[in-house]
Structures are given as C-alpha cells and as structure tokens.
Structure 1
Amino acid sequence: MQANIFAKRRRDSLVFFSLLIVLTVGSVLITQYDVVKGFTSSIKAIAWGLSNFYPTPESFKKLPDMLIKLRETVLMSIAATNIAAIFALFMALSGSRTTRINSAFSIISRGIASLFRNIPLVAWAMVLMLAFSQSPLTGYLALFCGSFGFLTRAFMETIDEVGSNAVEALQATGAGYFHIVFQAVLPSSMPQMISWLLYMIETNIRDATLVGMLTGTGIGFSFELYYTGLNYHAASLVVLLIVITVLVIESLSNWIRRVIL
C-alpha cells in the first residue's frame, strides 16, 4: 500500500516538473529571451553597481532631507493601512459566512473586496493621479485602496476560520448579533487580524517607494530625482535607508506577533 502511495507521488512529481520544464522552454522560445545574454548582463550590472552605486561622504549631506521624506513615506503608509483596516473590518463582518447579515450583503462585500484586491497598486496610483494629480493625497489613496482590498479578503478568511461552537452557543442563549461579534468572533480572530495588519504595513512601506515615484511624493520621489539626475551615490543612500527602515519595521512586527500570538 505504501509502495503504491510513494510511486504515485513520484509519478505526480515527475509530471509536475516535466510540465514546468516545458513551460519554461516554451516561454524562452516564444519571447526569444537570450539566457546567456541575460546572465552576462546581470554580471555586468552587479559590477557597475559595485563601482558606481554606493554612498559617499558628499551624499550624506543630503541625509536630513532624505529622512524627512522617509518619515513622510512611513507615516503615510501606516495611516493608509490603519484606516483601510477599519473599513475592511466592517466589510469583512458583512461578507463573512459566520457574521453576515444576509447572503446579498455577503455577495456584495466579497465582490467589492475582489475588485479592490485584483487592481494592482500601480494602476490605482495612475488612475488616482488623473483625478488628484501628483500629491501626497494620491499616494495615500492608492495605498488605502490596495490595503482595503487585501485586508478585507484576509479578515473574511480569518473570521470564517473561527470555530462555530462559540457562535452557536451564544445563539442558543438568545444573544444578539453584536454580542456574538464582540464576545465570540472578534476575540478569537483579533490576533490573526493584527498579524495581517502588520504584514500590510510592511508591504505598504516597500510599495510606497514605487507609489512615490509615480505620485511625486515621499522617499520614492527623492530616489527618482537623484537617479534621473545621475546622482547615483545619493540614490544608493536612499535605497540603503529604505532597506534599513523595512528591516526595522519587520523586526518590530515580528516582536509584536510573538507577544500577541
């Protein structure tokens, strides 16, 4: 019996990797991608980066201005994520199978969440830029829309995973909708929701750099100015600041997760 199971697993693995190889080779042939040139270009790019893309004492003179832009980016990301989480929570409660008011609200909520989640953040930034031009508000709204869709979906799945025993017990005692939500659903799902919120904050701080390049705000716009101005040393310092910030935020998020989970 076990021999048949192992043989089936080996056969399935062989089929999977064969399909993967066929798809890879087919993609290379269709796109006419030069694999050898790609590897050699990567080596040349690394060599260029090591010789040109690094901070210098002169670039550190621009550090105060960079820190101001970095603070703007971080605060905008946190604000957009937290406000989006509030709206996402209400939308998730109306869309979850555990807490939905009726099936119509659930379908509408899930449809809205899917719509917002499947539109890329860059697309949100470009569409909103047509209405609000290049401004911090455009970057904020782009991050808000992307966060809203993702968190609504994540919160729905978290609520759906809550055990129905506590909900059914409260319903049997005649508890109302809000008592069930605040006494059974939210206490059980809140730790996982906070984990999703922290993950979204980390993601938005990284994505805010790209959004800033499009909307002309924050640290992303500073990077674009330095890079297009051929000031590669200052641009590399911007990248270094972003990496350090993301690592600090990630460490802080992991610490909070260990405390609440």
Structure 2
Amino acid sequence: MEKVQKDIFTQRKKMMICLLLFILILYSLSAMGINFDLLTSLPSIPAGFGWLFTNFIPTEESVSYLPMIVSRLIQTILMSITATATAAVFALFMAIFGSRETGIHPVVKALAHIVASFFRNMPIVVWAMILLISFKQSEFTGYLAIFFSTFGYLTRSFMETIDEVAGSTIEALTATGASFFQIVFQGVLPMVGSQLISWVLFLIENNIRDATLVGILTGTGIGFLFDLYYKKFEYDITGMIILTIIVVVIGLELFSNTVRRIII
C-alpha cells in the first residue's frame, strides 16, 4: 500500500514538472515571437502604478461631475439588464428545443448547439465592431452586442443545466403520460428555475462590466464618458468614473451573490 501511494506521488510529481516545463516553453516561444522581455519590463511597473495613482485620484472638482457620471452609469446598467433579460427569454426557448432531454428532433438539437456555439464564441467587442458598420454609434448597437453575446452564453448554459438536472423528472412525467408542454412547463422549468435565474443574475453582473467597454466603441453610457475625459487628459474626472464603476460593480456582485445563495 505504501509503495502504491509512493508511486502515485512520484507520477503526479513528474506530471507537475512536465506541465511547468510546457508552460515555460510556451511562454518562451510566445515571448520570442513578439520580442517581449519580462526582465526589461518589470522595472517600469512601479513607475506606471505611481503615475496611475498620482493622476487618476479624484479631486474636489471631479466630484461635481458625479451626478452626470451616475446618470450615465444608470443608463449603462439599465441597457445591460434589458439586453440580458431579452436574451434570456430567447435562450430559454432555444435551450428547451436544443437540450438532449427536451429537444424535439436531432436536427433541431444540432442546429441549436451550432447557433449557441457561434454566438457564444464571438467576443462582445467583435459584435460591437461588426454592428457599428450597420447601426453606427447608438445605444441600439450596444444593446445588440450585449444581446447576441449573452444569447449564446445563456443558451449553452441553460441546455447544460437542463441536461444535468431534468433527466429523472422527464422520465417520471413521461411514464405518467404527460404531454411535451406539461413536461417542460410543469416539470423541467420548476426543477431548474433557480439555476436559470442564477445564470441570468451572473450575466447581468458580467454584462454591466462589459457594457463599459462596449460604450467606448458605441459612444454611449459610462464608456462614452470615460473615453471622452480620458482623451481630454482630464484624468481626475476619469478616475472618478473608474471609482464609481468599481463601487457599483462590487455592490451588484455582492447583491447578486446574496440572491443566488438564497434561491439555490
């Protein structure tokens, strides 16, 4: 027994060494490809953070911009919630028809997985840049970018949740002669409802952070203010914007985590 444990420990140690060597080789090749020298860059880090904390500290003047900043931030939050809620509705129906447990046809299941993978694997910034061509800089462009990205993520997450949780419920209801809609709306959704709500809350929280970046591209919300004052070199106001975003995001995260703990 002792020999077996020793062999297992030795094997894991070798695997860890191999993994570290692989990471080191991968880093070295990548750094050589872009001519990046970590040792040369390290001394500039303290100076960079020193400049950051010196110039981005909010001043008394920047505090006067707080009402405008909060107004823009509320606009960003509401847009994120709207896009996420809309995407969740479409994702739910797509997940029901694409799940291996509730799906109605193999072709429909395959198409649902392909659509979900496509929308999920397209970064939200790419969506924003693509949509800018057709819809220009507007709130609707930001809404669509968040919607498409969230739709793909939630569809895949909803399908996996239904597949993992609802199998036994579906079998029991099928045995009693329940119809498809009875199985879905009276069996599956009540069973997985708390997990689905948890996913929606997580995406709302995540999308509020992403909406800041999207706003820089689409010229809307809090991202527009950040880009405007940063380009005007008014770093104290930019720092006030960053501080406000951090406070709101942390507050929303704490609220979201509390709600998820209650419902799960």
The interval holding the TM-score normalised by the smaller chain is over 0.9
Report the 3-state secondary structure (helix = DSSP H, G, I; strand = E; otherwise coil) of the residue aligned with 2:102.
Answer: coil
What's the CA shift string for 1:15-68, capped at 9, x where partnerless?
111111111122222221021232122221101012111100011111111111
1:234 aligns with 2:237: yes
Alpha-carbon shift at residue 184 of structure 1 (Å): 2.3
The aligned counterpart of 2:169 is 166
Confirm whether residue 30 of structure 1 aligns to residue 33 of structure 2: yes
Alignment of 1:1-261 (within 5 A): 1-261=4-264
Deviations 1:221-255 (A, max 9, x none): 00000000000000000000100110010011011
Aligned length: 261
AA aligned opposite 2:154: L
Q: Which moved more, 1:47-56 or 1:3-12?
A: 3-12
Measured after TM superposition, the shift of residue 185 of structure 1 is 1.4
Equivalent AA in structure 2 for residue 253 of structure 1: S
RMSD over equivalenced CA pairs, Å: 1.0
Amino acid at match of 1:37: T
The Cα of 1:210 is off from its aligned counterpart by 0.4
* Aligned-partner Cα distance in 2 for 1:166–1:150: 25
Distance 1:123 1:182 in 2: 36
Equivalent-residue separation in structure 2 for 1:4 and 1:62 (angstroms): 65
Instruction: Report the AA paired with residue 219 of structure 1.
Output: I
SS in 1 for 2:60: coil
State which drifts further: 62-71 or 159-168: 159-168
By how many angstroms is 1:163 displaced? 4.5
C-alpha distance in structure 2 between counterparts of 1:152 and 1:121, whole Å = 16
Task: In structure 2, list runs of 5 or more residues that go unmatched.
Answer: none
Deviation (angstroms), 1:132 = 0.9
Equivalent residue letter for 2:132: M
Relative to structure 1, is the Cα distance of residues 25 and 136 closer, same or farther in structure 2, using a 3 angstrom cutoff?
same
Tell me if the contact between 2:101 and 2:166 (Cα under 8 Å) persists in the aligned partners. Answer: no
Amino acid at match of 1:81: T
In the TM superposition, residue 70 of structure 1 has moved relative to its aligned partner by 0.6
Percent of aligned pairs with the same residue? 48
8 Å contact from structure 2 (residues 165, 191) kept in 1 = yes
Q: Distance in 1 between matches of 2:40 and 2:212?
A: 30
SS at match of 2:43: helix
Task: Report Cα offsets for 1:186-232 as digits up to 9, x if no partner.
Answer: 12211111111111011100000000000000000000000000000
Matched to 1:106, the amino acid is K
Q: How does the TM-score come out when normalised to structure 2? A: 0.96
State the distance in 1 between where 2:163 and 2:91 align. Answer: 15
Structure 1 residue runs of 5 or longer lacking an equivalent are: none
CA positional deviation for 1:3? 2.3
Q: CA deviation at 1:148?
A: 0.4
